[in-house]
Amino acid sequence: MNSSDLDSPTRLPRQVEFTNAPLRLRIASVLRDAILEGDLRPGAPLTETALAEQLEVSRAPVREAIRILAKEGLIDSEPYRGSRVRTLDRRDVEEVYSLRGLHESFAVERIVQGSAPDGLDDLTEICERMRRHADAGDMRAVSAEDERFHRRMIELADHTLLASIWAQLSLRVRQIMSLRNLQIEDPHRVAENHVLIVEALRSKQLDVALERVRDHVREGTQLVIDGWSDPS
Amino acid sequence: MNSSDLDSPTRLPRQVEFTNAPLRLRIASVLRDAILEGDLRPGAPLTETALAEQLEVSRAPVREAIRILAKEGLIDSEPYRGSRVRTLDRRDVEEVYSLRGLHESFAVERIVQGSAPDGLDDLTEICERMRRHADAGDMRAVSAEDERFHRRMIELADHTLLASIWAQLSLRVRQIMSLRNLQIEDPHRVAENHVLIVEALRSKQLDVALERVRDHVREGTQLVIDGWSDPS
DNA sequence: GAACCGTTGATTGTCGACAATCGACTGTCA
DNA sequence: TGACAGTCGATTGTCGACAATCAACGGTTC
């Protein structure tokens, strides 16, 4: 398997540290990226044989990679029937975002209760970078920092199981983001929202922090849902 | 693969409908039960070759079964190093139960908001059975109904993603239950607690319902944590 | 024409063999 | 003695071939 398979243009330069990880993980990574970037559209069939040929590996690791992604919720598999990229309807979007809100709220509670005041500095840093990118009009970079912000926030909750569930949700969120039609969000407003959350966390105002996180998620949900077109 | 493998005494009579499901699922089921019943203790190594021989199948489906259980959080796998039944320390227990509380609370919110008033009858039925078993002193049956109660409650929240995450948590809870040293819970009290929850749901008193669910989970947590001995 | 029933092609499921990796062991050398 | 390189055994990783399964197709029968 050599890179630049599965997709003609640029792909898979990052994460070269995978060099001698098990093949299944590398393949899973390739497929995951393809799905999250929207190169593999929902409903697209993933047949083991075809993928194995394209990637020039045997079916075994491809098969395992597909299973991995199935467990991550990015792929639907049916015994003896094959696998397809999972399709997302409005209900799926609502479910993902509602649970996202739930878990972020939980994280906020734990952060306010717990100590770890220095970890908040990381969040502030991310906010600053986000604002700089917003000034530069680099929406892509803003999104990247956005994701980093929330992941770091979850980490600060110091809860392994929460983090692992969050990781799954986060994948789904990314898939949704890659599919939504329009992304008309004011980057400066986004950056400001995050600053407000950090401030509330820092001053340990639980209610305020919860309110702001919920607003933030609600806002994102609304934006995505509004522009959503179901695969009907 | 014939049943009564992997464990000399009685096992695997239930779920015969699996007859021609893929082998990996049947194997996963066998292993899952073994772990959940405590037959496979935490830390026990699971080597593909050995299991394949014991079960008289090839390594491929065993391998996939192990992967399935790894994703379910019952097994720890390390590349090239092998797999072991996951060990649980006090922190794991706290994490599992805290998330359990979070998700049940979320379910309660949705049930109170949503319609589905007839689904609550199921819960009432389960409570009645639970009480009967409590009268008969059949603690095992009470536990079974307990689990059924909570699963049904989650279903009533009508949230697919929640249900799937809950299923994972539920497995962990069962593993914990199978390992805890003592189970000194008054069955009648347990039954009564569940009745109270249903009443609050029926009258749509969100705050009351939430409080009761949280108390219920907190009670269970305390009971388990107190009798917990870390693998040190 | 509709229900039934093999056939067929595509796909996944299962298998046994071989390769790659890792940790532990061992023997050497300073 | 202690550090280091090489070897060895155990285990997982990968492979290609064959078997099982399923849906769709087409022919047969009534």
What pLDDT is recorded for position A181?
64
- Chain A positions with Cβ closer than 8 Å to B: 21-22, 25, 60, 64, 67-68, 71, 73, 79-80, 91-92, 95-96, 98-99, 102-103, 106, 159-162, 164-165
What pLDDT is recorded for position A13?
29
With an 8 Å Cβ cutoff, are B161 and A21 in contact?
no
CA atom of B81 to C1′ atom of C25, Å: 18
With an 8 Å Cβ cutoff, are B95 and A162 in contact?
yes
- The single-letter code of the amino acid at B162 is L
- Cα torsion through A88, A90, A94, A96, rounded to 10: 0
What pLDDT is recorded for position A183?
64
A89-126 burial, b if ≥16 CB within 10 A, otherwise e?
Answer: eeebbbbbbbbbbbbbbbbbbbbbeeeeeebbebbeeb
Task: Using alpha carbons only, give the angle A45, A46, A49 rounded to the nearest 5 degrees.
Answer: 125
Give the max Cα distance, chain B. Answer: 56
CA atom of B228 to C1′ atom of C1, Å: 71
Chain A: residue whose CA lies nearest to B101: A106
Chain A: residue whose CA lies nearest to B103: A102
CA atom of A19 to C1′ atom of C25, Å: 29
With an 8 Å Cβ cutoff, are B162 and A99 in contact?
yes
Choose the closest CB to A22 out of B68, B79, B99: B79
**Are A12 and A27 a contacting pair, CB within 8 Å?**
no
With an 8 Å Cβ cutoff, are B165 and A98 in contact?
no
Chain C footprint positions (protein CB, under 7 Å): 10-17, 20-23
- The single-letter code of the amino acid at B12 is L
Chain D footprint positions (protein CB, under 7 Å): 10-17, 20-23
Q: Closest nt to A60 (CA→C1')?
A: D14
**Are B165 and A100 a contacting pair, CB within 8 Å?**
no
C-beta contacts of A84-88 below 8 A and 24+ residues apart: A84/A42, A84/A43, A84/A44, A84/A45, A84/A46, A85/A35, A85/A40, A85/A41, A85/A42, A85/A43, A85/A44, A85/A46, A86/A42, A86/A175, A87/A42, A87/A43, A87/A231, A88/A42, A88/A175, A88/A176, A88/A179, A88/A231
Alpha helices (runs of H) in A73-205, residue ranges in sequence order? 90-113, 119-136, 139-156, 160-179, 187-202
State which protein residues have CB closer than 7 Å to strand C. A 20, 45-50, 59-60, 63, 79-83; B 22-24, 57-61, 64, 80-81
**Cα–Cα distances in Å, from B75 out to B45, B71, B130, B174?**
9, 8, 32, 14
What pLDDT is recorded for position B140?
85
What pLDDT is recorded for position A36?
93
Residues making up chain A, counted from first to last: 232
CA atoms within 13 A on the CB side of B112: 19
CA atom of A22 to C1′ atom of D5, Å: 27
The pTM assigned to this predicted structure is 0.87
What residue ranges of chain B have pLDDT lower than 70?
1-19, 115-116, 181-184, 231-232
Q: What is the pLDDT along chain A (232 residues), one digit of tens a residue?
A: 443 333 322 222 223 334 578 999 999 999 999 999 889 999 999 999 999 999 999 999 999 999 999 999 999 999 999 999 999 999 999 999 999 999 999 999 999 998 667 889 999 999 999 999 999 988 889 889 999 999 999 999 999 999 999 999 999 999 998 887 656 678 898 899 999 999 999 999 999 999 999 999 998 898 888 888 876 5
What pLDDT is recorded for position A229?
80
* B118 φ, ψ (degrees, to nearest 5): -75, -25
- The single-letter code of the amino acid at A85 is V
What pLDDT is recorded for position B46?
96
With an 8 Å Cβ cutoff, are A95 and B71 in contact?
no
